Structure 1
């Protein structure tokens, strides 16, 4: 039932269903006989499931295998399967995972992240379950921030001005701040100003109060859809750039 491909040849195909989170797992076995997605399939069928719950399985040699069809909702994180992708790496003890596995994981996750406008959230099963799965430091392997988003490599972020983002007449520079629901402060105020400017044609008219609440989140989602960006409320560097460019275009 599985389709096996060499890591270098694997290409992720974005499913038609909505996806916002990729969940990471380990198989809880170091037995070489279990190093195949067909074993996971048999285990999950024994539980009464229709088949393997993971969409991808990464063998110890780095081979990426497909499990459950990507267009089908997985069965790998109770209560969080809708809107998600499941990836499992063969292994139990942290020191027995291989460089080949982690490299394949990074390549696969880079493809997934790119398919979703660099806004895919990557999380470990242990964040929502009473288990140490996956047992390896997936945040370090993938270079994730505290919320599960891939941190841009050093040097890729363009500097913006602190007091007004961007204020090209100011000398103080900082990186584009990453914003999400619950954040507060001057950066949120500037975001709300940009949303009002760029989204005026859509009827967006936010109160500029510096509080990233539900209305601000919805405005972000609506505008990101308008500009073909993946519709989550998270605001990262390329979202800032899009909004700033839209504001400048309207002012011209």
Structure 2
């Protein structure tokens, strides 16, 4: 396996195992290899009792976040989902969090360029506003906001804006959003990509936004409800997300 030449990013994960699962790195390795991977994806794991255990290896290029693996160290805690199969921070033990903080400090000494974040912080910024918002998360991993958590503990953190900070859609032309619905702001932006005029992108579905939605619905052969209903959202995303990615 190839080794990293630099380590500038530390990524915190959970491995989405249910309560009571405690088979260590060997168990996770078996799961990953059954999925066709060459080895366990994470560089290191932290077991439910707080015991750290090496995974793929300290300098190995892991497999946990596509596009970042060559510069990142992957540190994963066992757990992350509850008995119902839903992401749940309460499945993470205090001993794990204590060890997580300890290992992050130690790895920061080992890798002086490292900056920390959570897996979901590396999700794509779909609406291009410079903020990674909950509706953009590829997954819930690691079920909590690592960046402010790490910063409070004196650790260096990645310069990634999440919902823990004020949301500014377009500096000097749009308001700071702290309360309005960021999902609505994203859908407003999709409408503007199609040339629909609706006023400021502000996360509020006012009269101008409703009129623009109705115009889009008319052009798309949809019921003219004026709402961001499921058929409208699906059509918006199909047309304008694809164009934006092209």
Structure 2-normalised TM-score?
Answer: 0.50
Structure 1-normalised TM-score?
Answer: 0.49
